[in-house]
Amino acid sequence: MVKKETGLDFENSSVKKVGEVMSGDELRRFGTQWVSQFVDWNRWERWKVMRWKALVARNDGVWSKDHVAALRKICPMVSNEITSEASAAEVEGYGASKLTVDSAVKYLQLANKLFSQAELFHFCASILELVIPVSKSRRAYGQLAKCHTLLTNIYESILEQESSPIPFTDATYYRVGFYGDRFGKLDKKEYVYREPRDVRLGDIMEKLSHIYESRMDGNHTLRIIQDSRQVKAEELQPGVCYLQITAVDPVMEDEDLGSRRERIFSLSTGSVRARVFDRFLFDTPFTKNGKNQGGLEDQWKRRTVLQTEGSFPALVNRLLVIKSESLEFSPVENAIGMIETRTAALRNELEEPRSSEGDQLPRLQSLQRILQGSVAVQVNSGVLSVCTAFLSGEPATRLRSQELQQLIAALLEFMAVCKRAIRVHFRLIGDEDQDFHTQLVNGFQSLTAELSHYIPAILSEL
């Protein structure tokens, strides 16, 4: 029997009720649970729990169904059901847990403080919007002034996050699969782990290896599967327990999972918001001939989407995967996606709004970085290799007409945006960057000349 995993045992991580109070008739169909999210007590060292059931006072007229709905957007675990013990709850080890408006506000204020420490400012804004009605109903103008001052600071922090050239990351996520009878109930199950944002793949591999190696007996050994391929039972060796650990990305609510683009910009600065995730994905390259790697013309991609039981931030640092789906992208779709990703990166930089002249420097730096990775002579082989793989001789004849047109259109759009970006770069630079600009221009001209061998129309298009 496997010993319980200290600090990581999903099955034994129970939810502690803090209290419930029934609302008026108009709210009886609505849940009274408020789930405050994980918050960071020690600046991302570990996540602590705040889960409590909300108070909508019968006679105070402070909170309405709209406030419950607003909280549900932050906390998807808010229940739509009314429980039988809603008037008061007695929790073992906690004593009486009936909430008042004042005690609820104290929890909200504490949550706001902790979310602020964790730099989750969108949560802070939503929480303060729930505190304000209390002060307003009591005409506590001093508290109202304080709340609005805090809101001003929060929105300024959100603006700073969204205008930063470096995307904000609140955490890292990993899919962990368990394979082996020594794991007991965990065997053949998958979980998504939520870790602090500075935890890398090697860190969690080392951490879990240390935990589970001590659980192995003389008849079992532990092995880490470091790639994300589909695990086949017939390939697993008897007496060996396997951990498959894969970095995954959270899926935004409105994200198009069928997009061919690589996902390095899916969580960009423009999408900083209250982050509640219950879907995650990872991409796995593969070939149809069984080889792990191949040329661009042979490289397929499998996108796997995982659905978890519940959402992060959560009461535990891992959630069970209850659903897994996958879709595949052909080699030419991958190539088109690569070009579209580079184009989107440049266009995003050109169209990103700037709040003041002081933003010019970070914009110039990020624009230079992306341009150098797009048109500099030493790195433009990525675009040229796409042309060699799909537009030269016999490979081009294997493409469907629609695929060929989409690939050419993607390349033309990429070059057009590069040309525009170089012009913007010229307007931003000083004398000290003239040599670098000349290198960009020469690289662009060289790349255009090379592409013209595959797409003659590119000379007239540009």
Name the residue range of residue 41's domain: 25-163
Evaluate whether 426 touches 438 at the Cβ level (below 8 Å).
no
* Encoded tokens for 226: 């470091």
Q: What is the mean pLDDT of residues 42-53?
A: 33
Residues 314, 344 within the same domain: no
Of how many residues is the chain composed? 462
What DSSP string runs through 200-242? Answer: -HHHHHHHHHHHHHTT--TT-EEEEE-S-PPP-GGGSPTTEEE
Task: Give the other-Cβ count within 10 Å of 321's Cβ.
Answer: 19
pLDDT over 90 (residue 48)? no
| Band (366; pLDDT cuts 50, 70, 90) | confident
- Tell me the three state secondary structure of residue 182: helix
Single out the residue in 142, 163, 184 at which a domain terminates: 163
Considering its fold, how many domains does the chain have in total? 3
Task: Give the other-Cβ count within 10 Å of 16's Cβ.
Answer: 14
Of residues 84 and 236, more confidence is placed in 236
Residue 15, in any domain of the structure: no
Residue 78, in any domain of the structure: yes
Residues 319, 178 within the same domain: yes
Residues 89, 221 within the same domain: no
Evaluate whether 82 touches 72 at the Cβ level (below 8 Å).
no
Residue 245 confidence (pLDDT)? 96
> Which residues are registered as beta bridge partners of 450?
none
Residue 257 confidence (pLDDT)? 72
pLDDT over 50 (residue 410)? yes
281 phi and psi angles, rounded to 5 deg? -145, 160
Closest CA to 75 of 118, 134, 122, 110: 122
Residues 90, 114 within the same domain: yes
pLDDT 10s digits, 118-167: 788 888 888 888 888 888 888 889 989 998 999 999 999 988 887 776 77
Residues 211, 306 within the same domain: yes
What DSSP string runs through 32-81? Answer: -EE-PPPEETTTTS-EE---EE-B--TTT----HHHHHHHHHH-TT--SS
Work out whether strand 240-250 and strand 221-225 pair parallel, antiparallel, or are unpaired. Answer: parallel
- Tell me the whole-structure pTM to 2 decimals: 0.70
Residues 120, 212 within the same domain: no
Residue 16, in any domain of the structure: no
* Encoded tokens for 202: 């090697």
Single out the residue in 329, 344, 376 at which a domain terminates: 329
Residues 178, 324 within the same domain: yes
- Tell me the three state secondary structure of residue 195: strand
Residue 316 confidence (pLDDT)? 81
Minimum mean pLDDT range among 91-105, 272-286, 362-376, 446-460: 91-105
